[in-house]
Structure 1
Amino acid sequence: MSRHDSTGIQSDYQPIDDRDAEESTHLLGTVQGGNSSFKSSVFNLMSAIMGSGILGLAYAMANTGIVGFSILLLIVSSLAAYSVHLLLTLCGQTGVSSYEDLGGRAFGRFGKILVASTILIQNVGAMSTYMVILKTEFPAAISSFLSPDHERAVWYENGPILLILVTVAVVLPLAILPKIGFLGYTSSLAFFFMFFFAVVVVVKKWSIPCPLPVNATLSLYEVSSNLSECTPKLFVFTNKGAYAVPTMAFSFLCHTAVLPIYCELKRPSQKRMQNVANVSISLSFLVYLISALFGYLTFFDKVESELLLTYDIYLPRDLLVMLVRLAILLAVVLHLPIIHFPTRKAVQKLVMADRPFSWVSHTVITLALLTVVLLLAIFVPDIRNVFGVVGSTTSTCLLFVFPGLFSLRMRPHPLLSVAALGELALVVIGILVGLLSLCIIIVSWAQNS
C-alpha cells in the first residue's frame, strides 16, 4: 500500500538540499519498508508491465521492420528504465510514495491534478483495450468450440452483446467492491498467460506455411507471386509505423506501480529497487521481442493489429490457439477490476478530494466509468486506435515527460550538466514522439475516411 508524506503537498516548490535528501531517504527506508522479496517484487512489476500491448507488437514490427522495431523497442525500454530511476531518486529525496503527490511537490495542486487526470485517461484507455479484446476474442472462442455447421449470426457470437453480459455479470460485481485485495493475487496469473502466449506464438511459427494460403486451391502462379511476402524486411517506412512507438510506450508503462512496489520491498533502497526495475524491464523486453518477432515471421505483412485474430484466419480451430485465447480472456476479465480501482481513485481525488467514503458516490463513479469504457470498446473498430491515441498522449507523458519534468523542477542542476541534459532529452523525446505519432495517426484516419 502506498503511504503519503505526513507533511502534505506544498503549494509552492521548495528545492531539496542534501540534509533533506538524507532525512527523507532515512524516513523512506524505516517507514515504508515491506516484506516483499527481490524476486516477488520483480514478478509483481512484470505483472504490471505486461498487458494487452503484447497483442499489438507483431503489427508494429510489420510496419517498422525487424531491425527498426528492435532498435525502437530497445530505446523505449531503456528510456523506461531511466525514467524509473528519476522517479526513485525523487521518491528517495522527498519521502513521497505516489505519482500524483510527486506532481504536487513539483507544481503544487495543478501538478497533482494533472498527473491524476493523466492516470485517469491512461487507465480508461487500458480498460478499453481489454474490453476490445473481449469483444473480438470472446465470439471467436465460443465459435471454436462449436461445430463448423452450427447456426450463424446468433446472439452468443455477437461481440457487443457478450461484452455487455460479461461486464454486468462479472466485471461490475468485482469492481464495485470497496476493497479488492484478494484479486491482487490473481493478477499474477496474467504474466503466466502472457508467457504462455509467447510460447504458443513461437511454436505455431512452424505450423503455418508460407506463402500464406488465400483459399483452399492455389494455382502455381498465385503461389510463386506470393513468395516475396515470405521475405522478412529489416526496415519499413509507412505511416502505419506511427503506431509502433505509442504501442511500445503503452506496453512498458508501469510507473504508477513502481512506487507502491518500492514501499513493499524488503530492505528498500533506490539501488535495490532500480535493480528490480531493470530486471523486470529486461525480461519483459525479451518476451515482447520474441512474441513480436515470431508473430511477424509467421504472417509477415498479413499480420492483424490484434495478433490472435490473425490465427483465426489461417489456423482456425487449433487447440493451442483455443487454449491461449481462453488464457488471455481469463487474464483480461480478472485484470479489468484491478485497473478500475486506481481509475476510480483518481476520479475521487479529482471530484471528491478528501471526503469520507460514500456508497452512493462510489457506485455512481463505478457505473459511470464502466459505461464510458464499454461505449469506447463497442464503437472503437480497431485496437490499434486505442494503442495509438493513448500511447502517444498519456503513456508518453507518464513514461517520458513527467519524470524528466519533475526532476528538472525539483532537482536543479547546472544547465549543461549530464543529469540536466538527460532529463531535458527525456522530456523533449516524449513530447516530439507523442505529437508526431498523434499527428500521423490523425492524418491516416482522415485519409482512410
Structure 2
Amino acid sequence: MELQKISNGHHDLSPEKITMESEFDTLENMTEPGDTFLTSESNGTINTPFTDFVGKTSFGMSIFNLSNAIMGSGILGLAYAMANTGIILFVTLLITIALLSAYSIHLLLKSAGVVGIRAYEQLGYRAFGHPGKVLAACIITMHNIGAMSSYLFIVKIELPHIIQSFMEKPDDNEWYANGKYLIIIVSVCVILPLAFMKRLGYLGYTSGFSLSCMVFFLISVIYKKFVTDCSEEHSYNDTMLNQTMFDQTISNSTSDICEAKLVTINPQTAFTIPIMAFAFVCHPEVLPIYTELKKPTKQRMQNVANISILAMFVMYLLTAIFGYLTFYESTNSELLEMYSKTDTLMLCVRLAVLMAVTLTVPVVLFPIRRAVLQLLFPDEPFHWMRHISIAVCLLFVVNLLVIFVPNIRDIFGFIGATSAPSLIFILPGLFYIRIIPEEQQPLKSPPKIKVIAFVTLGFIFMIMSISFIILEWVTGRKTMGGH
C-alpha cells in the first residue's frame, strides 16, 4: 500500500499520485500511524490538503528564503534602538530575542513533527479545531499584509527621490516623481511575476540577491563610520534637536555628544523594545519553507532556522553598532535619512535597500495566500487561476492601503503589536501545549512549564506594545492640541 511505503520512508511516489501537500506524509516524524490527517481513497491514492509536489528546495536556498523573511525594513531602525538603550543593553536584548525566536521555531517544528502537519493553519486546527485554524490564518494575513505595506511604503517615499537624482533637470510634476504611480509599476512589473511562481523555493535566487543588497548596505554603513566626522555641523544640529525631544540641556559639549553610551534609559527606550522584539519575526514563512525543503527532517529545518537567525543577528548587530557609532545621540529612527542625499555611494545604497525590500514582498505574500487557501479552499487541488487570482487581489489591497492611507505607521504598528507576539510566542506555545500528548509530557512537567512561561512572556510583550502605541498616540494628540 502507498501508506505503507510512506511509513517505511520511501520517497519514490510520482507527483500524479500525490495531491495537495503529500510530502508531509513522507516525513519520518509521523509518530502516530493512525493519524487522522492522512486519508486514503479507495483507489489507493493519498488525499491530503496541501501541495502537489515533493520538497525540492536545497538547504542553501531555504536559508536564503528564511533569512530574507527575517530581514525587513526594521534593520534601518536598529541603530536608533541602540542609541536609546546603550550598547550593552542593546546587545543583551538582541541575543535574548534571537534565542527566543529560535526556541519558538523549535516548538513549531516539534508540534508539526508529532502530527505530521507542516501548515500553520492546520496546526491551529489540530490544537483548537476550526476556530484555531481561522485565528492562525487571520493573524498571518494581518501581519504579513502589514509587512508588505511597510515595504511598499518605503518604495513610495524613496523611489521618486532616487529617480530624480539621476535627472539633470528633475520635474516634480512628472509621473516619475509620484510615488503612487511608481508602486503600481513596481508591483506589476517586479512583484507580481515573482508572486505567480508555484513554489516558494524558486524565490531562493531573488532572496539571495536581496540579501546581497543588504550586505552592500551594511558594508557602506561600516565604511561611512570611518569617513564621517561626528562633530560636523549637521550632526551637531541634529543632536541638538534630539536633545530637545529628550528634555536634555543644549549646553552639552561635542565630546559628550560623540561619546558612545553603554547603557541608556530615556523616554524613547520603551518604544525601541518592540522594534527589537519583532526583528526576528519569520514564523509564517517557517512551515512553508519546511514544506519545500529537500529531504525534510525536523533537525534539518531547525538548522536552516538557526543559521538564518545567526546570520541576521550578525547583520543586525553590525548595522546597529556602526550606525550608532557614526551619529551617536543624533541617530534618526530611519538610518538612511541621516546620510546626505547627494552622496553617490549612499544613493546606490538607497537603491539597493529598495530592491531588497521589493524582492522580499513575494516571499511574505506566499504565507498569506496559503492561509487564504486553507480557509476558503482546504480540500481543493492546486489550480493556477486560483493561485494567480489570490496574488493579484492581495497586491491590489496592499497597493490601495499604501496609496490612500497617508500614514500607516499607527495602523500597522497596532497590527504588529498584536500579531507579532502571537506568531512568535503565543501560538507556537499554545500549539505545543495542546498537541504534545499528556502521556508524553504532563502539563506540570518542566518542558511544558517552560512553554507556559514562554506564552506568558508573549502576552506581556503584547500588552506592553499596545500600551506604548496608545500612550504615544494620546501624547501626540495632546501635543497637537497644545499647539
1:300 aligned onto 2:328: yes
Residues 363 and 46 (structure 1 numbering): CA distance in 2 closer, same or farther, change over 3 Å? closer
Q: Which residue of 2 aligns with 1:270?
A: 298
Give SS of 2:264's match: coil
Q: Which residue of 1 aligns with 2:149?
A: 128
Give SS of 2:32's match: helix
Separation of aligned partners in 2, 1:32 and 1:173: 21
Q: Which residue of 2 aligns with 1:334?
A: 359
- 8 Å Cα contact 2:63/2:307 also seen in 1: yes
Q: Which residue of 2 aligns with 1:440?
A: 468
| Aligned match for 2:213, one of 187, 193, 196 | 193
Give SS of 1:214's match: helix
1:343 aligned onto 2:364: no
Q: Which residue of 1 aligns with 2:47?
A: none
Q: Which residue of 1 aligns with 2:7?
A: none
Unaligned runs of 5+ in 1: 7-16, 25-30
- 8 Å Cα contact 1:122/1:390 also seen in 2: yes
Compute the displacement of 1:197 (Å): 1.3
Compute the displacement of 1:50 (Å): 1.8
Compute the displacement of 1:80 (Å): 0.5
What pairs with 1:85-100 in structure 2 (closer than 5 Å)?
A: 85-100=106-121
Compute the displacement of 1:252 (Å): 0.9
1:395 aligned onto 2:420: yes
Instruction: Tell me whether 244-253 or 96-105 shows the greater mean CA deviation.
Output: 244-253
Unaligned runs of 5+ in 2: 1-19, 37-51, 239-249, 478-483
Give RMSD over aligned pairs.
3.6
What pairs with 1:184-223 in structure 2 (closer than 5 Å)?
A: 184-214=204-234
Q: Which residue of 2 aligns with 1:9?
A: none
Q: Which residue of 2 aligns with 1:20?
A: 32
Separation of aligned partners in 2, 1:386 and 1:427: 25
One-letter amino acid of the structure 1 residue matched with residue 101 of structure 2: A
One-letter amino acid of the structure 1 residue matched with residue 281 of structure 2: L
TM-score normalized by structure 1?
0.82
One-letter amino acid of the structure 2 residue matched with residue 126 of structure 1: A
Higher relative contact order (CA 8 A, sep 6+): 1
Query: If you compute each CA radius of gyration, which structure gives the higher value, 1 or 2?
Result: 2
Q: Which residue of 1 aligns with 2:344?
A: 319
- 8 Å Cα contact 1:232/1:297 also seen in 2: yes
Separation of aligned partners in 2, 1:169 and 1:347: 24
The one-character-per-residue Cα deviations of 1:189-214 (angstroms, maximum 9, x if unpaired) are 11111122111111111222113423
Residues 90 and 246 (structure 1 numbering): CA distance in 2 closer, same or farther, change over 3 Å? same
1:42 aligned onto 2:63: yes
Percent of aligned pairs sharing the same letter: 45
Q: Which residue of 1 aligns with 2:91?
A: 70
Give SS of 2:279's match: helix
Residues 21 and 428 (structure 1 numbering): CA distance in 2 closer, same or farther, change over 3 Å? farther
Separation of aligned partners in 2, 1:410 and 1:402: 12
One-letter amino acid of the structure 2 residue matched with residue 303 of structure 1: T
One-letter amino acid of the structure 1 residue matched with residue 86 of structure 2: G
Q: Which residue of 2 aligns with 1:370?
A: 395
Separation of aligned partners in 2, 1:342 and 1:263: 12
Q: Which residue of 2 aligns with 1:425?
A: 453
Separation of aligned partners in 2, 1:370 and 1:303: 33
1:287 aligned onto 2:287: no
Separation of aligned partners in 2, 1:285 and 1:217: 32
* Equivalences, count: 427
Compute the displacement of 1:58 (Å): 1.7
Q: Which residue of 2 aligns with 1:137?
A: 158
Residues 4 and 106 (structure 1 numbering): CA distance in 2 closer, same or farther, change over 3 Å? farther
